[in-house]
Amino acid sequence: CVLVRAWSERPKSNATYLTLDWYTEINKYRYVFFFVMFTLYILIICTNSTILYLIWIHKNLHEPMYIFIAALLLNSVLYSTTVYPKLLTDFLSEIQVTTYSACLFQFFMFYTLGCSEFLLLAAMAYDRYVAICKPLEYQTIMRKTTVGIFLVMAWLVPACHIAVQAIASAGAKLCDSNIKGIFCSNAVYTLQCERSRLITIFGVFLLIDLAILPMLFIVYTYTKIFIVSHRSCKEIRKKTAETCLPHLLVLISYSMFFVYDISIARVKSDFPKTTRIIMTLQIMLYQPLLNPFIYGLKMKDISKHLNKLLSQAKTISCIKT
């Protein structure tokens, strides 16, 4: 009822155009930035799609662990597509503007997919926990139905949570039309005259439910995994390292950028503008680009199929020349 009332009573000023303040810092080099960011976006799409393709066509990769990896890579592609097309358009535009409704939609998609990554990593951690700590029960527990439920929940739960924030923000009165950032992240809160109690309280609940609890669960499961593997034979320890290390690398890197994003909201963007732009670009760049390289190089089965694909492509290229 509160959300419906907030939406119906939203002020008319929310339909006005908003400007993004990052452009003045890089005006002289906007075409250089466009070329670099466009190249990186294509690289993100190609690398993630390649690993997705390999998992799709090879039946020996149709296992829960690889299905979760595929979901994580698909999430990275969607995550990047939420930001890059609008960003590339802004590089070529004389004025960088957006509407408040479009800004809230980008905010919704960005944080929904961002939080989904935590839940997907938690599902992957649980899969590894069952595989290593309860190997005899693995086939019974990690059935296709279980995997499907995990995937649906990983995307549905964050969407429902972030929708509350977006709808509540739609009813907020705006006192500023200048977004302090290169896209609509939590900077939308700085536009509001006063942040409502609903947004503040539910924001804390969201942080605990979608970030802190999944991280604690991941830490717990990997602690159990390493204790069990330490007591096991050398082969089990090697297998644990091969399958768990990539997940931990992704978790650590993603957590660092997540902490930065939360910090920016709490200190009200006291960082220099150039520093904010650079750090925000890293959030958009590193994680979607790191995932396919980490899983493509560190996961033995994926790496094997990737090498075969590259050798086939090289052979075809040599025949044509």
**What digits encode the pLDDT tens for the residues 76-91?**
899 999 989 988 888 8
Q: Binning pLDDT at 50, 70 and 90, where does residue 15 land?
A: very low
CA angle, residues 250, 255, 260, in degrees to nearest 5: 135
- The rounded radius of gyration (Å) of the Cα atoms in the chain is 22
What rounded mean pLDDT belongs to the chain?
80
Contact 150, 123 (CB under 8 A): yes
Band of pLDDT at residue 293, cut at 50, 70 and 90: confident
Measured distance CA(126)–CA(169) in Å, rounded:
34
How many angstroms separate the CA atoms of 220 and 213, rounded?
10
Ordered alpha helix ranges (H), the chain: 2-8, 30-57, 64-92, 100-133, 138-141, 144-170, 197-207, 213-230, 234-266, 273-298, 300-320
Extents of the domains making up the chain: 28-296
Q: How many other β-carbons are positioned within 10 Å of the β-carbon of residue 208?
A: 12
User: Which SS3 state, helix, strand or coil, does residue 174 take?
Assistant: strand
pLDDT at 167 over 80: yes
What's the pLDDT band for 26 if we cut at 50, 70, 90? low
Question: Between 116 and 173, whose confidence is greater?
Answer: 116
The pLDDT confidence band at residue 4, using thresholds 50, 70 and 90, is very low
261 vs 46, which has greater pLDDT? 46
The pLDDT, as a whole number, for residue 102 is 87
The domain made up of 28-296 is a member of CATH 2.40.10.10? no
- Reduced to 3 states (helix: H, G, I; strand: E, B; else coil), residue 52 is helix
Exposure string over 51-79, b if 16+ CB within 10 A, otherwise e: bbebbeeeeebebbbbbbbbbbbbbbbbb
* Backbone torsions φ then ψ of 292, nearest 5 degrees: -65, -35
Residue 319, burial from CB neighbour count under 10 angstroms (0-12, 13-18, 19+):
exposed
Q: What is the pTM of this model?
A: 0.83
Residue carrying structure tokens 């009165």: 173
Residue 48: both structure tokens together: 């993630």
- Residues 69 and 253: their CA atoms lie apart, in Å, by 16
Tokens of 33: 């930035």
- How far is the C-alpha of 203 from the C-alpha of 73, rounded, in Å? 27
Helix/strand/coil for 99 = strand
How far is the C-alpha of 98 from the C-alpha of 254, rounded, in Å? 28
